[in-house]
Structure 1
Amino acid sequence: MKLNCDLGESFGAWTMGQDEQVMPYIDMANIACGFHASDPSIMTRTVSLALSHGVQIGAHPSYQDLAGFGRRSIHHTADEIRGLLWYQTGALEGICRAQGTTVEYVKPHGALNNDMMRSPDILTAVMEGVAAYRSGLPLMIPATLDAEHHRELAKRVGLPLIFEAFADRAYDDQGLLVSRIETGAVHDDPQVIVEQALSLANRGGIRSVSGKWLALPAQSLCVHGDNGHALAATRAIRSALSGQVNG
């Protein structure tokens, strides 16, 4: 089970997250591409940091919403969604190429990620956009109860999928993330986060907020970089997973 984290989300003189501390403990870095956070200098530094730790680099595109950190839904046509994906992924790809590497997957951020999992039209536009950008480039999407359906949709456009689950987020009975406006939507207790991570890794699912069992076929676990407990949680998850492998 690979660990991924949303990183490179600072902007100018404003610092977000604990990138330098978290990077050694993860396998995949979802790097902001300038629309919800980041700028060329921060993107460059984050790519360099990922390379120094042998971490896979993923583009983390969003709606164009710096003020709202990409967490506000914005209406777009399918053409506009494809365009914003190409624009942001291309920007990060250029920085990667200058450092001798490349973008290895795409993971939509925030409201775009949530909206595509609720709207078949948006999901189709995202899948088509990533597939058109580069053949064989994987799209990372949340593992849900409809994973098999999502595999079939992706197969139609020749798109590899990476399913992820969130170690630090609560889920509702439909297998979707509880809205951040709800109390308890984000876990801040490292022990709770570790228990959820181990349940996903070992049992292939977790309990919803109401206690319903959710089978979520995750290949990667995410801990949010803007969570104040990200470093402690990521260390604890890495230690727990490594202990299982070594034990």
Structure 2
Amino acid sequence: MKKKWMLIVPLLLFLLLTMVPYAHAEALPDISINVGGSDGESSGTGTVTILLLITVLSIAPAILVLMTSFTRIVIVLGFVKTSMGTSTVPPSQVLVGLAMFLTFFIMAPTFNQINEVALQPYIQGDITQEQALEEAAKPMKEFMFKHTREKDLLLFLEYTQSEKPATYDDIPITTLIPAYAISELKTAFQMGFMIFIPFLVIDMIVASTLMAMGMMMLPPIMISLPFKILLFILVDGWYLIVRSLLLSFSP
């Protein structure tokens, strides 16, 4: 008998829970959502606009990484973390956040110029969308052109069999972006190599000392890590790294 009640009680609870929504169904109002207008042409235009907006938002991280100073900064900070041998300190979120805010700081003059010549006139209706995009591309081209090596730029111009442009305004942005990206990668690796040298010297000294003392089973990283952290603190490493990054983007 107890087994039958144990089966019936859960069944009754299940029926009550399933009947509650239907009991209040008549009290709920009908809600309808219409997207777009009644005109077919305006609806199609709105759909295209939404699709373009979603596309821009999806490629926004790539724009931030490849068209700003973010690439160089985050790679250099990554080299600092790797050269010190601290795999989890500082966390990757902290380094990415620092790189992002340094990017906003470095790119502030360029972003202000875009706001003045493109965004605000477009919001006020003085220029069209196409004109706004053209005006917004000019400050970005100027910034990327200053930090792009001529060798890297000629690589993509020769591939497309384009003539050598007279000014940076004549360079297609699809050509300038990859040239700027590989230039930033080279610069970042050069700075990372200079960061590695002092920490590598400490590792070699510690490893040689341990070998001379016969402590071959003791990992050198356990001894060298405190010395590397101490050196980084004594020379005020974060100040030097950030200062070097800011100077590398100085006009």
Larger proportion of strand: 1
Structure-1-length-normalised TM-score: 0.24
Give the alignment's TM-score, normalised by structure 2. Answer: 0.23
Query: Which is richer in helix?
Result: 2
